[in-house]
Chains A and B, each alone.
Chain A
Amino acid sequence: MSATIVLILRLLLVISLYAFIAWALITIWRDQRQQALLLASRRVPTLRLRVEEGETEKAQSFDKAEVLVGRDATCDFVLENETVSLHHARLVYHHNQWWVEDLQSTNGTFLNDERVYMQTVLISNDELRCGKVYINVTFG
């Protein structure tokens, strides 16, 4: 009698242990899937770059998190101006912000006429200057 009760309890003991483990693993798996979906659906605010002077006048919008600016044709935002280096500057999105970073360009990168030495946060309607080219930055 006592042995049968204990046998049933022992069975439940194993079940409860593995229920704990299974519950933990299932919720971890669910959580990870949800985070993956969340990350996939997280949109980078559209970055709009506009140059309004003379022959280099152009405007372009970007949906990705990293934008390379320079004279080289492989850059995302190409500036046909001899004061602009081949790979001049980089705009990246992280920590919920757009950041600008100078890529050791010859003539320097300036944000609202301040030289950029390290990664600096951008806000909408900032004025970015690469060499002698002024770029208007907006996003939203």
Chain B
Amino acid sequence: MKLPFSLAPTPRDQLQGRLLSLAAVFLLLFSAILTLSPAVRVHGWNTSLRWEHWIGFLVWVAGFAFLHIQSIRWLPDRDPYMLPVMALICGWGLLTIYRLIPEFGFRQTVWLALSVGVIWAGMRFQVVLQMLRRYKYLLLVGGLLLTAATIVFGTYPGGQGPRLWLGCCGYYFQPSEPLKLLLVIYLAAYLADRLPTVFTLSEHLAPTVILVGTAALLLAAQRDLGTAILLVSIYTLIVYIASGRRRILIIAAVIMLVISVAGYFAFDVIRVRVNAWLNPWIDASGRSYQIVQSLIALASGSVFGTGPGLGSPGLVPLSHSDFITAAIAEETGFLGLSGLLVLYALLVSRGMLTALHARSNYRRYLAAGVSVLFAVQSLLIISGNIRLLPLTGVTLPLVSYGGSSLLTASFAFALLLVCSAHGEEEPAPLSQARSFTLVNSGILAGIFLVSLAAGWWAFFQSGVLQARPDNPRRFIADRYSPRGPIFDRQNNPIVLTEGQRGELTRNTVYPLLGNVTGYSNLLYGRAGLEASLNDYLRGLDGTPSSSIMTHQLLYNQPPAGLAVRLSLDLDYQQRLDNLLGDRVGAAVVLNARTGEILALASHPSYDPNQLEELWPQLVQDPDSPLLNRSSQGMYPLGGAIGPFILARVLATTDLPALPAQLSYQAGDQVLTCSGPVSDPPTWSSALVNSCPAALVAASRSISSSQFQDLHRQLGFYTAPEIEMPAAPPSAAQTPASAALAAVGQTELRVSPLQLALAAATISNQGVRPPARLVLAVQTPTEGWVVRPGGQSTSVFTQEGVAETALLLANPDIPIWETVATARTEQGTITWYLAGTLPNWLGSPLSLALVLEEDNPEAAREIGLNVFRTALPSE
């Protein structure tokens, strides 16, 4: 059996055959990896592998084996590098399109087969070169007319978009693609006819300027500005190469600059593109979405790439056409992208060499023009993809999806290949070689610069870009690598990951905790514990870094997440949720000694399992179910400051006589007790009901700055150190007056969690415990590792809290309690604070409950029931 590329009568053919074989090996490996990639993603063979792209590979092998043999027959003196380089670029593009959208891959395979035919025809009928020269005006005008036709008949194949295509019967054709090549042919023919005579700028360039200007204006009218820029650049470079006058470059640069600045102010499209280029981060989810996603793709690929089929390049819009560079960079990395750039550099350099050796000026300018066309177009779009230049919507020649683009590029390539076959004939006399070398060096320098810029994003900015919240890969990883479960203190599941790799889903087993556990969702991001514990749950913290690196390298996935054990007790939790029912409010029950949160309710809540269906309602619900009120809800204290005033005062002095009038005039409002006081009124009854006058009387010895100290010691100015999103604490501020501070009429706002921790001081000998929610995480190497707790703070003396508890004691069960109300802009809220008595022998408990309504009876009823069910009966 003979290998496809083995026919080689001469060393030149042998070289071409070898290079084609290497290209085939590259594409074979690419195809094999793509086939296996689904198995890698799910860590096993229990999945369907990808086979469809092998058709593309086989067509590629057959097509280029045919071209190899035909090129030996018809073009024995051709450049041996061009065909293999073109074949490799082309095949790489084809397989990348298969990887992105298999259906487009099939279509592109058909276009590839047609392109092979076009190249063959170019080699077989070389007379076409002369025909093109003869009919240059006819062709260019034809191209212009077709482009003009898009203004009237233009459509966009994908629905809404720029109307740059002509379509019929399911096939679409973009006239601006061949227009570029027709312009190159026209210029080559025109300049070859005119240049031997004396060259004056104005006279001889007039017709070309008119034609190119018309073309550029037509394209600008169609908002195909990328192609317009491309045309003007190609025109300038070709005229410069032919004439060798540097003045042309300078004039063109000035004109382009003026047009760009004018276009910036005149065209909205240009302004958007330029702004998205200058500062993409401002509007990363809107106008600069594409470019930011492209950079994130580049960063995800890093140096080595994720491997074909293992990344998520489909996330970048238009990744099969304009942004195919991003797809290639993500899956083959900086190494792959640099390789591709070197391939383009090779093709362009060989093209320029062909131009120098060409046997006639027409062939010379044609070869140079086609090389410049390839070079400028690739540089423009690749630079646009990596934010080196503003985005121009042109295709990456030979790679991007699209029949018009591939056929045009193939035909241009065929012309180049024919020009390269100059045989033993001497090159035509060359007036100067400087412009050729200068343009070639410029192009090579541009390619090098692009490679450097890509390296900057892929290497130095990789971490920053990948960590961006708008990087969807972080959520896609959750589908393939299990996220850690969340357990309560008895190892009952609260949140689990279920299903097979590839279709893993997150199941919140106890949905009433929805606004505490939160969600990790591709569309809506992360919230709650899913956000704050993400590093553990996602396996990025607590897993050995070698394991993370191995997973990243092998699977492009993070390792399995760590299980997290919370201090919550689902028994308590369920009871608390039942008691709170449909009321709007929050409650925190904690162990007053250790600070471990046993139950945490915030109503209304939502079911994270139905986040996507519920989202529109959730964000509009006036009761804000997404908010975790227990740590994010900030309420005024009102009379709930009472127990702490007592604990401070009773340590040193006794209470004065109870005032006769228990309500209190604060500014223009009258504050009253939260509930009925016993008859005759007692201190005990007045304080349990937070009667404002009683609080003012009790706190006579506390100055307003001492109130500020008290607030600080109770932790009201600091957010609890807890692995849960919390609202920013109130700023430390000296209350306007001690009396207003005593009735809680200050700027201070506290969360139920802060108040529950403060209430713990009364049940825990005057010591405020640190808040604890996460008890332990299960690491792969050391098993369950206990998370260290914070520091306790001593706030009150033991005598102070003992006396306070005695005064506030409930007659039926061994707890102290206070009911208070406070006014907000939206209405009145009710606090219920309680805790076990200091001499309680079991685990001390404390509770802070808030209802967003003026309902002291209900608050007290719920609070008492919490303790009735929580405390073992004596």
Contacts and interface: CB of A to CB of B under 8 A. Distances in A.
Contacts of A18: 335, 339
Interface stretch (A2-10, A40-48, A78-86, A99-107): A2-10
A13 to B, nearest CB: 4
Contacts of A2: 36, 39-40, 43-45
B392 interface: no
B199 interface: no
Contact of A10 (B22, B33, B39, B43): B33
B427 to A, nearest CB: 10
Contacts of A10: 33, 304-305, 307-308
Contacts of A94: 426
B5 to A, nearest CB: 13
Contacts of A59: none
Interface string A1-38: 01111110110111011111101110110000000000
Contact of A20 (B22, B32, B40, B45): B22
B96 to A, nearest CB: 13
A17 B32 CA distance: 15
Interface string B18-31: 11001101100110
Contacts of A5: 36
Interface in B427-483: none
A5 to B, nearest CB: 7
13 contacts: A2-B39, A2-B45, A6-B307, A13-B30, A14-B336, A16-B22, A20-B19, A20-B26, A20-B84, A21-B342, A24-B84, A25-B346, A95-B426
Given A9-B33, A14-B304, A17-B26, A3 B19 contact: no
B15 interface: yes
Contacts of B88: 20
A24 B310 CA distance: 29
Interface string B43-58: 1110000000000000
Contacts of A23: 18-19, 22
B345 to A, nearest CB: 10
Contacts of A20: 19, 22-23, 26, 84, 88
A14 B336 CA distance: 7
Contacts of B26: 13, 16-17, 20
Of residues B19, B22, B45, B332, which shows the largest number of chain A Cβ atoms within 10 Å of its Cβ? B22
Interface string B73-92: 00000000100110010000
Contact of B29 (A16, A25, A27): A16
A7 B310 CA distance: 11
Contacts of A96: 426
B81 A6 contact: no
A25 to B, nearest CB: 8
Contacts of B336: 14, 17
Contacts of B413: none
B22 A27 contact: no
Given A20-B23, A21-B346, A12 B29 contact: yes
Nearest to A28: B81
Nearest to A7: B554
Contacts of B36: 2, 5-6, 9
Contact of A27 (B15, B45, B304, B310): B15
Interface of A: 2-7, 9-10, 12-14, 16-21, 23-25, 27-28, 94-96
B440 to A, nearest CB: 14
Contacts of B307: 6-7, 10
A6 B40 contact: yes
A26 B55 CA distance: 33
Given A19-B22, A20-B19, A9 B346 contact: no
Interface string B301-312: 000110110100
A2 B342 CA distance: 31
Contacts of B85: 24
Contacts of B22: 16, 19-20, 23
B554 A3 contact: yes
A19 to B, nearest CB: 6
Interface in B144-197: none
B37 interface: yes
Nearest to A3: B554
A2 B555 CA distance: 10
B343 interface: yes
A91 to B, nearest CB: 18
Given A2-B36, A18-B339, 6 more contacts: A2-B44, A4-B554, A7-B554, A13-B33, A14-B304, A20-B26
A105 B94 CA distance: 65
Of residues A2, A14, A23, which shows the largest number of chain B Cβ atoms within 10 Å of its Cβ? A2
A94 B36 CA distance: 60
A42 to B, nearest CB: 13
A104 B342 CA distance: 51
Nearest to B339: A17
Contacts of A95: 426
Interface in B335-383: 335-336, 339, 342-343, 346
A38 B778 CA distance: 73
B553 interface: yes
Nearest to B30: A13
B338 to A, nearest CB: 9
Given A2-B36, A20-B88, A21-B339, A9 B29 contact: yes
B29 A24 contact: no
Nearest to B557: A3
Nearest to B47: A2
A7 B32 CA distance: 12
Contacts of A21: 339, 342-343, 346
Of residues A7, A16, A96, which shows the largest number of chain B Cβ atoms within 10 Å of its Cβ? A16
Interface in B86-119: 88
Contact of B553 (A7, A12, A24, A28): A7
A96 B426 CA distance: 9
Contacts of B29: 9, 12-13, 16
Nearest to B553: A7
B497 to A, nearest CB: 21
Nearest to B33: A9
B47 to A, nearest CB: 10
Nearest to B554: A3
A118 B32 CA distance: 65
A96 B40 CA distance: 64
Contacts of A28: 81
Contacts of A19: 22
Contacts of A27: 15
Nearest to B22: A20
A30 B15 CA distance: 12
A61 B25 CA distance: 58
A66 to B, nearest CB: 15
Nearest to A19: B22
B335 A3 contact: no
B695 to A, nearest CB: 67
Of residues A17, A27, A94, A96, which shows the largest number of chain B Cβ atoms within 10 Å of its Cβ? A17
A12 B310 CA distance: 16
Contacts of B553: 7
A118 to B, nearest CB: 13
Q: Which are the 10 A-B pairs with shortest beta-carbon distances?
A: A3-B554, A2-B39, A20-B22, A16-B26, A13-B29, A17-B339, A10-B307, A16-B25, A3-B40, A9-B33
B439 to A, nearest CB: 19
Nearest to B80: A27
Nearest to A27: B15
A4 B43 CA distance: 11
B500 to A, nearest CB: 15
Contact of B32 (A3, A9, A24, A25): A9
